[in-house]
Amino acid sequence: MSGIQLNMANGIREFGRNTPAKTAIIDGDRTYTFAELDERSNRFAQALLARGVKQGDTVALLSGNRGEYFEISAGLAKAGIAMVPLNSKNSASDNAYIVGHSEARVLVLEDELHAQADSFLDTLDLVVSFGGQTGEEYETFIATGDPVDPLADVDENDTFCITYTSGTTGRPKGVILTHRGRVLTVYCAAMEYGYGPGRHTIAVAPLYHGAGFAFSYGNLLLGGSVSILRKWNPEAFLQMMVDDRCNTVFLVPTHAQQIRRVCETPAQSYDLSALDTLYFNAAALPVALKQWVLQAFPGVGVHELYGSTECSIVTNLRPEFALERAGSVGQPWFMNEVKLVDDDGNEVPPGVPGELYARSPLLLGGYLKNEEATQESYDADGFFTVGDVAVRDEDGFISIVDRKKDMIIAGGVNIFPREIEEVIARFGPIDDVAVIGVPDEVYGERIAAYVVNRPGEDCDMEALAAYVKDNVAKYKIPREWYVVAELPRNAGGKILKRQIRDDHIAALQAEAR
């Protein structure tokens, strides 16, 4: 191997030497300096190597948000061992599949999540836990490790982590993310969202999710600091923004919804003078919610980006276009080429929906042990798709129409739910919405809308139906309406429409019996 290799631990090494006394992590009443983060990650890596874990092996991590997540990640990167983050909301059977598929023989576990791992613990070679109720106690374990950096010879195209998809269309797929792709993502995000020395962010989204991890660890990698929000609470989040003088933070639309529920005017109620950048991902911000965000955080640059676990960031709508192009996710991001194609692979003109394909050095390294799925997702020119449908305007601004698999086909006509959802979301008392297609004997599918009211408000469903009727084409009007307490979402904040659809069908079948 020749030349300097991009590695997801290099920044931890650099700032451990250059700014050793500077605060890196604030986790409740615990504070880590860069020197401590660097040394503790060395010890973790060396303790694993001393137990026979080798470069190229995999280690699973099942934990909520906590400071150890970052030192474990850095330690594995230093040793050339791939991390397999497990969703803390997964069942034990889901986690058992992922651990088996990834061939992880070691698990680092938060004791409170024991039930999500108990079915396969006895199949592992080593279990280490925070608190020590399961397997070896974490602090005792890392204390046995040499504080010297293992300095493994890691190629930048080696695997940094294997992140599993949510499995909404079958078994979860293991997405191989390389050191090179992740580091380039962090460097580009630093230019766009403001990482680096003297900058502070908060780990809000789950760290087991690709974006939640990248957008907080990324600031550490470039010499900034991060506070840990262990459990989402909008009021605790706003207070942490004040106490720790947060400059930039990644959120998903659900966070904005819940902040609004507890505080309509956060910039007036809290000292958020240090905040200059917000950026959103997971699902497109409904236009009405985005307008509130811009009013609620005046003077703050609001970005809206589109990406996926497999592709990293693909497009970004920058603050100067936030209102003018509301509803769009912007233009292709750094180093990205994007094209929209029809079912025959032909590029579509502006204004015509097409499946979005992206090509960049940020792409995944493939799906683990699934060459067929990898090849199916690429075209002949090296462009990759995750099945999202988008439309591009004459100026190159892209708007996500919907997931291809969420498209409703009623009477042979293609209907994309997002357009209908945008209209519903503009109706005053509506807090959240999902539009799905449900089985229909005559038309194949009919449109059903599931809505969530804002806390303490009741929606006049007749008025809502009339409003939608006045704002969408007749064939796009929902035939069924349901008011629910909440909508199911995955770790990244995306609504699980397949679950809603499956539950809907199961309820119909139960009624038929």
CA 271, CA 284: separation in Å to the nearest integer?
A: 28
- In a domain? residue 396: no
Q: What are phi and psi of 214, to 5 degrees?
A: -60, -40
- pLDDT tens digits for 391-410? 999 999 999 887 777 778 77
The pTM for the full model equals 0.85
- In a domain? residue 273: no
Long-range contact set of residues 123-131: C-beta below 8 Å, sequence gap at least 24? 123/99, 124/99, 125/51, 125/52, 126/51, 126/53, 130/63, 130/66, 130/68
Q: Which helix (H) or strand (E) holds 501?
A: helix 497-512
354 contacts 348 by C-beta, under 8 angstroms:
yes
Question: 453 vs 2, which has greater pLDDT?
Answer: 453
Tokens 């942490």 belong to residue: 240
Question: 471 vs 317, which has greater pLDDT?
Answer: 317
CA 308, CA 425: separation in Å to the nearest integer?
A: 24
Question: 414 vs 192, which has greater pLDDT?
Answer: 192
Answer with the one of 157, 189, 216 that is the final residue of a domain: 216
% of the chain beyond a pLDDT of 70: 97
CA distances from 500 to 250, 434, 482 (A): 27, 9, 11
| pLDDT above 60 for 169 | no
| pLDDT above 70 for 140 | yes
| pLDDT above 70 for 420 | yes
Question: 447 vs 491, which has greater pLDDT?
Answer: 447
The stretch 462-469 carries a mean pLDDT of: 90
Which pLDDT belongs to residue 178? 98
What confidence tier does 8 reach under pLDDT thresholds 50, 70, 90? very high
Return mean pLDDT, the chain.
92
- pLDDT tens digits for 299-318? 999 999 999 999 999 999 99
| pLDDT above 80 for 412 | no
Which pLDDT belongs to residue 491? 67
DSSP-assigned beta bridge partners for residue 403: 388
Question: 2 vs 60, which has greater pLDDT?
Answer: 60
Answer with the one of 167, 185, 216 that is the final residue of a domain: 216
Distance of CA 25 to the CA centre of its chain: 21
CATH code at 502? Answer: 3.30.300.30
127 contacts 134 by C-beta, under 8 angstroms:
yes
- In a domain? residue 161: yes
Q: Half-sphere exposure of 394 toward its Cβ, with a 13 Å CA cutoff?
A: 0
- For residue 414, what are the domain limits? 407-512
Maximal CA-CA distance, the chain: 70
- In a domain? residue 259: no
265 contacts 223 by C-beta, under 8 angstroms:
no
Which pLDDT belongs to residue 335? 96
3-state helix, strand, coil in the chain (%, to 5): 35, 25, 40
Q: In the numeric block, which tokens belong to residue 462?
A: 């007749």
| pLDDT above 60 for 360 | yes
Which pLDDT belongs to residue 419? 81
398 contacts 306 by C-beta, under 8 angstroms:
yes
Q: Letter for the amino acid at 277?
A: T
The stretch 265-278 carries a mean pLDDT of: 97
CATH code at 210? Answer: 3.40.50.980
Answer with the one of 160, 195, 216 that is the final residue of a domain: 216
Q: How many residues does the chain have?
A: 513
- Quote the number of domains for the chain: 2
- In a domain? residue 127: yes
- In a domain? residue 430: yes
| Strands (DSSP E) found in 335-443 | 337-341, 354-359, 388-392, 398-403, 408-410, 413-415, 430-440
Which pLDDT belongs to residue 512? 66
- In a domain? residue 191: no
- In a domain? residue 317: no
